[in-house]
Structure 1
Amino acid sequence: MFDSIGWAEILVLLLAGLFILGPERLPSAAAWIGKSIRKVREFATGARDQLRNEMGPEFDELRKPLENLRELRSFDPKRMVTQHLFSDEPANGTKPNGYTPPPPASTPPASSTPPPLSPGEKPPFDPDAT
């Protein structure tokens, strides 16, 4: 639950609570917050267990997309780009976007460059390309 909150943030919150609530009411406020969090967790666990009992095996199928979303929370674009740029191609020869490189040609293709235009000659015009 406190994955993204560090000790410095907790200390700042405690100091702010101490100044706002005062030393007399701070322990009771912390106890109330703890009880509230415990109740919310119990409600969530009870609801999950009730859904699991009512839905049966369909509940696991429902949770699969949620687990995929949870994996996306740990997505690091910098790591993914570095991995794809500097790693070798997969064993099946396809890239992540589905591109399969053509097999190497045994003979180089003949160059099909058109001859240069004569002075005053108009270049070919392709109306579909404009």
Structure 2
Amino acid sequence: MFESVGWGEILVLVVAGLFILGPERLPSAAAWLGKTSRQVREYATGARDQLRRELGPEFDELRKPLEDLRGLRDFNPRTAVRRTLFDDDPDPAAPMKPNGYAGPNGSGATTPPAAPRLAPGERPPIDPDAT
């Protein structure tokens, strides 16, 4: 639950608690917070166990998409762009053709389109609608 909270954040919370609550009320507030968080955790565990008992094997089927969504939390756009642009490995989900080229976005193209060669000094064609 508190995986991302470090010692620095805990220290700041304790100091803030000392200023807000005072030293005489801080221990009782910490005890209340611990008891309440423990009780909430027990309620959540009980609800999950009750769902598991009532749904049976369907509970695991319901849980799989939720675990996939939890994986999105670790999504890093920089890594995804770098992997897409600079990795030479093709997308494993894309259908592979015999020559190893999957085509753009897994399309049915068997070979990449060949760009026409320009003569030395020749200007490339310009698409006025694209500029």
The normalised TM-score by structure 2 is 0.71
Residue 107 (structure 2) aligned to one of 85, 94, 99: 99
Across the two proteins, how many residue pairs are aligned to each other?
Answer: 107
Query: Which consecutive unaligned segments of at least 5 residues does structure 2 have?
Result: 117-131
1:45-124 paired onto structure 2 within 5 Å: 45-90=45-90, 92=96, 93-94=101-102, 97-103=105-111
More helix by share: 1
Q: Within 5 A, what are the aligned runs for 1:2-41?
A: 2-41=2-41
- Alpha-carbon RMSD across the aligned residues, in angstroms, is 2.4
Change (3 A) 1:104 1:23: closer
The TM-score, its normalising length taken from structure 1, stands at 0.72
Structure 1: state its 5+ residue gaps. 110-130
Q: 1:104 to 1:32 in 2, by over 3 A?
A: closer
* Greater relative contact order (CA < 8 Å, ≥ 6 in sequence): 2
Identical-pair percentage:
66
3-state DSSP of counterpart to 1:24: coil
Q: What's the CA shift for 1:100? A: 4.9
- Point out the structure with max Rg over C-alpha: 1
The 1:41/1:95 distance shift into structure 2, 3 A limit, reads farther
Q: Match for 2:111: what amino acid?
A: P
Q: Structure 1 85/47 Cα, relative in aligned 2: closer, same or farther at 3 Å?
A: same
